[in-house]
Structure 1
Amino acid sequence: MTADHGTRLLLLSATGAGKLAGLARDTAVLLTRPGGPSLPEVCARAADGPHAAHRLSVIGRTAEEVAARLDAHLAGETVREVHTGVADGPARVAFLFSGQGAQFAGMGQGLYRTERVYRETFDRCADAARPFVSTPLQRLLHPDAEPHVVHRTAHGALGTFCVSTALAELWRSRGVEPATVLGFSSGEYAAAACAGALRVEDAVRLLGTEITLAERVTDGAMAVVALDEHTALDVLEDFEPTVGIAAVISPAEVSLSGRAATLDRITQRLAASGIRVSRLPVPAGLHSPLQEPALGELAAVAKGVRTCVPRVPFVSTVTGRPLEAGQLTPVYWGRHMRGPVRFLDAIRVMDAMGIRAFLELGPGRALVGLGARCLPGGGRLWPASLGRSTDGTGTMLDALGRLYTAGAPVSRTAVGAGARPAP
């Protein structure tokens, strides 16, 4: 038995809970047997299937670590790296594409270094984004990347697009295809590309144009307030129309965006009334009335972009409904830039479609956190592809295991290979 320094995913299944427990116990013994098979060999054999309904997944870096986690799980302990479930049919997975603001220095660096599909897709997107950024977006993958580089609005939006689109291709290479897609704010462009409605290069061109235009606004501000949409609209009626609702993000939360001076007066009144207010460090006033002067310029660029009928069902956060044929017009992208982002409506539509596994593609966990607030209760999975990891390999394999326990198909080749150690 040889040690392995890359994260591995072990998948087990059986026809009943008792049989699954017995298989897990036998596997733990096998992994610690002197002269026994290596962890990669055991993972590869287990991934071959066939796969029964009662399922378990566990990640680990060595055979001893995986065996210890199985033993602890069998002893009744809660083990964060172990997941179980009963798959009563193929799981339908929604891809949720993150928007700008989620980015951080070093995001997914490990995946870029070790996964060819991920790296090639990221580089393709980053090359298309060069006209819109002041530094190559690969710089954002360094943990020591300068804050002013990471948090520039254009770098955040386009860097997140690169990460999200690369994750989509990596997930597909591992056997997970989306049943439907959704994008939050700038994530709408990544969702459109994933669905096949836009070429990747055209999605980058549109997003780069929108963000470049949006950055002209320098006296804007944004804030999340604990109000429902209708109450927020009533509050805004008392102020000049330079602030609007930028996003409806949960049943009791909206984001407001617009002229900073006006937003200051609004949030002061709300805070004095005991309403929770969280300011966002975004001077561009995204999805606000301040963007209206730029809509014509965005439309002019959008007229030169060819759109296609989506190959994957696409739930729009512009309308809050499934995208209809011919809807991705220049007017549509103008509505996207002006806002609001209708995340609450869109995630409820996905739930009505029977989706029970919601996977975030992008840095962070913001969308799966918001989604769980929009759709409270059990019976749903909310994994993140990357979270706040600069490595990303273990986080993604853990999410893959969670999806497997819910019934998602998984590529045997991807699981058998595991995450290779970075050079």
Structure 2
Amino acid sequence: ASLAGGVSLGGVVEGVVGGSGGGSGGPVFVFPGQGSQWVGMGAELLDESVVFAEWVGRCEVALSPFVDWSLVDVLRGVEGAPGLDRVDVVQPVLFAVMVSLAEVWRSLGVVPGAVVGHSQGEIAAACVAGGLSLEDAARVVALRSRVIGVLAGRGGMGSVPLPVGVVLERLGGFGGVSVAAVNGPSSTVISGDAGQVAACVEVFRGEGVSAKVIAVDYASHSVQVEEVEGAVREALACVVPRVGEVAFYSTLEGRRVDTSVLDADYWYRNLRGTVEFDATVRLLLEDGFSLFVESSPHPVLSVAVGETVEEVGAAASVVGTLRRDEGGWRRFLTSAATAWTHGA
């Protein structure tokens, strides 16, 4: 409302519009996996955005058959509500927030020309693209995250700021550790046995590399996931994917795919396979997309996208949505203004 009325807002970015809708048909909406969550995310926006509140409500209804907690209570931090330290809570909550933020962007006229998701972020991407109904997407994120809980306590993941080729050369001495995700030219995630991952990270740190252990106790995208293959496929057997309206770029396949293939098999492989985020961003750039909007409560993939853009030498921009401890309408409008100056 303030922007539409011409009122100056502190913190709004000024600039020259540098494109038309993000290049090839509109901006790319980017949906991360875990890592963007923070206590209180979305609570302020619930009170300040009718669209956000409406979609959080829709997500709560869609999730309700599969969870025994209230989405709104978790977002508001109501006493007795479960915390975001549980995988079967944080993943559905992040899904709901990301989908709802995407709808706020749409309400402002910023409509995606394509979507891309990282790990569990592909569930939100599929929903926003129209490839999964809200109900089926809720089923996938809620039931799959519940199954993942079986793996808790044995696995670990680590972040290594080196090219994937360099990381692969060093993994031979660490049994059960593999590459989980390739996020950027110098951004690789490893996954596997918790002790082996920690040991691997320490070796890199001893060489002056700022590697770190990620705060999770299960090993997504590793061989450990194969233990729950049957349970995941059974839980998601009734999911019915459909042809979406928005281009879906798969980080599992590293290419654009028809969303009608996003069945139980896909969502198991999404959990087990390597996340080819860097390769998929490169393809999006090749296909002419020039604006990436990270639809999340805190930008966690924007740096990786920016590094890929820089290495490719493309003329493209990356914009976040909310930020940690800046989760209200003012922050959203600031992000919208930034997107506008870059052609949204």
Q: Shared topology, TM-score over 0.5? A: yes
Question: What residue identity is the alignment partner of 2:250?
Answer: S
Q: 1:234-249 counterparts in 2 under 5 A?
A: 234-240=169-175, 242-249=176-183
Taking a change above 3 Å as real, the CA distance of residues 325 and 216 of structure 1, as seen in their structure-2 partners, is: closer
Report what 2:14 is aligned to. 83
Q: Distance in 2 between matches of 1:335 and 1:111?
A: 34
Partner SS, residue 318 of structure 1? coil
**1:389-417 deviation per Cα after TM superposition (whole angstroms, max 9, x unaligned):** 45421121112222222333xxxxxxxxx
Shift in Å, 1:164 = 0.7
**1:34-65 deviation per Cα after TM superposition (whole angstroms, max 9, x unaligned):** xxxxxx4x46xxxxxxxxxxxxxx535xxxxx
Report what 1:187 is aligned to. 121
Report what 1:403 is aligned to. 339
Q: Distance in 1 between matches of 2:231 and 2:306?
A: 37
Report what 1:215 is aligned to. 149
Q: Distance in 2 between matches of 1:82 and 1:101?
A: 26
Q: Distance in 2 between matches of 1:254 and 1:145?
A: 38
Q: Is 2:285–2:314's contact at 8 Å kept on the other side of the alignment?
A: no
Q: Distance in 1 between matches of 2:326 and 2:13?
A: 22
Report what 2:161 is aligned to. 226
Q: Distance in 1 between matches of 2:150 and 2:201?
A: 24
Question: What residue identity is the alignment partner of 1:83?
Answer: E
Q: Distance in 2 between matches of 1:265 and 1:323?
A: 37
Report what 1:8 is aligned to. 2
- Select which of 245, 261, 273 maps to 2:207: 273
Report what 1:358 is aligned to. 292
Q: Is 1:132–1:154's contact at 8 Å kept on the other side of the alignment?
A: no
Partner SS, residue 286 of structure 1? coil
Shift in Å, 1:236 = 2.1
Question: What residue identity is the alignment partner of 1:300?
Answer: E
Question: What residue identity is the alignment partner of 2:183?
Answer: I
Q: Distance in 1 between matches of 2:231 and 2:31?
A: 25
Question: What residue identity is the alignment partner of 1:314?
Answer: F
Task: Point out where structure 2 has 5 or more consecutive residues left out of the alignment.
Answer: none
Does residue 328 (structure 1) correspond to residue 269 (structure 2)? The answer is no
Question: What residue identity is the alignment partner of 1:157?
Answer: Q
Report what 1:317 is aligned to. 251
Q: Distance in 2 between matches of 1:306 and 1:119?
A: 27
Shift in Å, 1:362 = 1.2
Q: 1:36-51 counterparts in 2 under 5 A?
A: 40=5, 42=6
Report what 1:72 is aligned to. none
**1:43-88 deviation per Cα after TM superposition (whole angstroms, max 9, x unaligned):** 6xxxxxxxxxxxxxx535xxxxxxxxxxxxxxxxxxx523111355
Question: What residue identity is the alignment partner of 2:149?
Answer: E
Task: Point out where structure 1 has 5 or more consecutive residues left out of the alignment.
Answer: 1-6, 11-39, 44-57, 61-79, 409-423
Deviates more, 1:343-352 or 1:265-274: 265-274
Q: Distance in 2 between matches of 1:108 and 1:390?
A: 9
- Select which of 53, 59, 74 maps to 2:9: 59
Identity of aligned residues (%): 30
Q: Is 1:104–1:140's contact at 8 Å kept on the other side of the alignment?
A: no
**1:163-208 deviation per Cα after TM superposition (whole angstroms, max 9, x unaligned):** 1111111111111110100111111000000000000111111111
Does residue 150 (structure 1) correspond to residue 84 (structure 2)? The answer is yes
Report what 2:56 is aligned to. 122
Q: Is 1:109–1:390's contact at 8 Å kept on the other side of the alignment?
A: no
Q: Is 2:21–2:27's contact at 8 Å kept on the other side of the alignment?
A: no
Larger Rg: 1
Deviates more, 1:217-226 or 1:262-271: 262-271
Question: What residue identity is the alignment partner of 1:99?
Answer: G
Shift in Å, 1:336 = 0.6
Shift in Å, 1:298 = 1.3
Question: What residue identity is the alignment partner of 1:229?
Answer: V
Question: What residue identity is the alignment partner of 2:2?
Answer: R
Q: Distance in 2 between matches of 1:406 and 1:227?
A: 30
Query: What is the TM-score normalised by the length of structure 2?
Result: 0.90
Q: Distance in 1 between matches of 2:31 and 2:320?
A: 11
Report what 1:253 is aligned to. 187
Report what 2:30 is aligned to. 96
Deviates more, 1:114-123 or 1:376-385: 376-385
Partner SS, residue 208 of structure 2? coil
Q: 1:350-389 counterparts in 2 under 5 A?
A: 350-376=284-310, 379-389=315-325
Partner SS, residue 9 of structure 1? coil
Question: What residue identity is the alignment partner of 2:13?
Answer: V
Shift in Å, 1:134 = 5.1
**1:257-278 deviation per Cα after TM superposition (whole angstroms, max 9, x unaligned):** 1111222232233223333211
Q: Distance in 2 between matches of 1:102 and 1:379?
A: 26
Q: Distance in 2 between matches of 1:145 and 1:406?
A: 42
Partner SS, residue 149 of structure 1? coil
Shift in Å, 1:337 = 0.8
Q: Distance in 2 between matches of 1:132 and 1:272?
A: 45
Taking a change above 3 Å as real, the CA distance of residues 379 and 145 of structure 1, as seen in their structure-2 partners, is: farther
Taking a change above 3 Å as real, the CA distance of residues 320 and 144 of structure 1, as seen in their structure-2 partners, is: same
Query: What is the TM-score normalised by the length of structure 1?
Result: 0.74
Shift in Å, 1:369 = 2.0
Q: Distance in 1 between matches of 2:342 and 2:161?
A: 33
Q: Is 2:187–2:304's contact at 8 Å kept on the other side of the alignment?
A: no
Q: Distance in 2 between matches of 1:379 and 1:371?
A: 12
Shift in Å, 1:364 = 0.5
Q: Distance in 1 between matches of 2:160 and 2:222?
A: 15
Count how many residue pairs are aligned between Structure 1 and Structure 2: 338
Shift in Å, 1:325 = 5.9
**1:265-301 deviation per Cα after TM superposition (whole angstroms, max 9, x unaligned):** 3223322333321111100222221111111221223
Partner SS, residue 212 of structure 1? helix
Question: What residue identity is the alignment partner of 1:200?
Answer: L
